[in-house]
Amino acid sequence: MRLAPTLLAALLAAALAPAAGATIVKVTIHGTVAFNSITKAPFTAVTAGQGAQLSFLLDSGSYVDSPSFPVRGYVIDAASCLLTFPSAAVPLQSPFPAGQTPYFVIRNNDPAVDGFYISTIVDGPNSLPLAPVGSFGHFGDAFHVTYDGSTLASLDLLGALGSYDYTGLTVFDWAVTDGPFAPLGIDFVSMTIETLVPTWTDEGHALAGVAGNPAFTGSGTLAAGSANTLALASAAPGALAGLIVGLTSANLPFKGGTLVPAPDVGPVLVPVSGAGAIALPFTMPPGVPAGTSLWMQWAIPDVAAIHKVALSNALLGQTP
């Protein structure tokens, strides 16, 4: 069945309405292994003195406030959470235990201290279950840091952007747990909380068809496994255009031009009405690592073109 263009455009416009006010934030925690007595993979090659890193993504609009304490838990994108050592990369348990949610919690003036911790409950720190299984169930990742009360101004994640080290630090605890035990300890070194700002590059390539050479630029986030609003500033004429999206480039001849993306993510039909910004929520596939490239290109109906289709320039976005 073929929908009338006006109806299809209306349906797409409703489906592609972005969530307002959401910002994707990346947290990266660095440390040094203090000791390790775990004899099970993948921790067997982790030794004292090695570096350790915990990183994950958050949505600034997805959080829970505690009714009892001045703390706020931001939901961790479980697919993005990774504990890494030079010899091992350890994800969270997948699927994450039913009925539980991984949180990154901010404390402010509680009552005279600030801080951060990870937990499956908002009101206090506990370990997040990791994929490998130890002697007492899944290993866990436990982390919390406490700072003096002048470190944070509020519970707002975007207000907490920045770098944290020993300045104002009063307490830290970071360990891989096995049931009630902590057989692997990590000394905290630093933490960064930053918004994801991908790089955008105009890949150019020969344009086909439309007079005025339709072109577009991009901004927005490209976080793995999360809804990302891409603001595409388009100079395309009014049309129901196809946005071709790929995780790899193909550079194939197409309708008299060059199709740059390999459409492994797929084409998305988008109503385009002249020049201006187009907000397009797009979800990167879960598990896509940092540094992933994403190619985009418009295919636009053009009755004046030989093949009745024009191609825009290609745009390359890359996650931080």
Its pTM stands at 0.67
Instruction: Report the percent of the chain where pLDDT is more than 90.
Output: 50
Determine, yes or no, domain membership for 10: no
pLDDT of residue 80: 87
The closest alpha carbon to 258, from 266, 249, 267, belongs to 249
Q: Are residues 109 and 234 in the same domain?
A: no
Answer yes or no: are the C-beta atoms of 130 and 90 closer than 8 Å: yes
Q: Are residues 49 and 74 in the same domain?
A: yes
Q: Are residues 39 and 111 in the same domain?
A: yes
Q: Are residues 188 and 201 in the same domain?
A: no
Q: Between the CA atoms of 305, 306, 307 and 310, what dihedral angle is there, to the nearest 10 degrees?
A: -30
Q: Are residues 305 and 164 in the same domain?
A: no
Q: Is the predicted pLDDT of residue 109 greater than 50, yes or no? A: yes
Among 195, 210, 230, give the residue marking a domain's end.
195
For the domain that residue 233 is a member of, what is the CATH number? 2.60.40
Q: Are residues 210 and 293 in the same domain?
A: yes
Q: Are residues 228 and 295 in the same domain?
A: yes
For residue 212, the enclosing domain spans 197-318
Backbone angles phi, psi at 11, to 5 degrees: -65, -40
Determine, yes or no, domain membership for 5: no
Mean pLDDT in residue range 206-213: 48
Return the amino acid letter for 64: V
Q: DSSP characters for 213-266?
A: ---EEEEE---BTSEEEEEEEE-PPSEEEEEEEESEEEEEEETTEEEEEE-SSE
Instruction: List Cα–Cα distances, 280 to 19, 284, 308, in angstroms.
Output: 10, 12, 25
Determine, yes or no, domain membership for 177: yes
Among 158, 173, 195, give the residue marking a domain's end.
195
Q: Are residues 151 and 44 in the same domain?
A: yes
Q: Are residues 256 and 165 in the same domain?
A: no
Q: Are residues 53 and 128 in the same domain?
A: yes
Asked which of 52-66, 169-183, 231-245 is least confident by mean pLDDT, the reply is 231-245
Give the pairing type, strands 169-178 and 276-283.
Answer: unpaired
Q: Are residues 79 and 37 in the same domain?
A: yes
Q: Is the predicted pLDDT of residue 202 greater than 80, yes or no? A: no
Distance CA 80, CA 141 (A): 14
Structural domain total, the chain: 2
Answer yes or no: are the C-beta atoms of 38 and 66 closer than 8 Å: no
Q: What are the tens digits of pLDDT across the range 259-309?
A: 888 877 767 666 655 555 555 555 555 555 556 777 888 777 766 666 777
For residues 186 and 316, the model is more confident at 186
Asked which of 57-61, 107-111, 272-276 is least confident by mean pLDDT, the reply is 272-276
Among 166, 195, 224, give the residue marking a domain's end.
195
Determine, yes or no, domain membership for 3: no
pLDDT of residue 256: 74
pLDDT of residue 12: 26
Q: Is the predicted pLDDT of residue 2 greater than 60, yes or no? A: no
Mean pLDDT in residue range 85-107: 96
Q: Are residues 212 and 85 in the same domain?
A: no
Determine, yes or no, domain membership for 132: yes
Determine, yes or no, domain membership for 174: yes
Determine, yes or no, domain membership for 303: yes
Answer yes or no: are the C-beta atoms of 49 and 41 closer than 8 Å: no
Give the pairing type, strands 169-178 and 181-195.
Answer: antiparallel
Judged by phi (left if over 0) then psi (alpha if -120 to 50, else beta), residue 59 lies in beta
Asked which of 11-20, 56-65, 111-120, 169-178 is least confident by mean pLDDT, the reply is 11-20
The closest alpha carbon to 238, from 282, 195, 271, 203, belongs to 271
Determine, yes or no, domain membership for 1: no
Q: What are the tens digits of pLDDT across the range 15-50?
A: 222 333 457 789 999 999 999 999 999 999 999 999
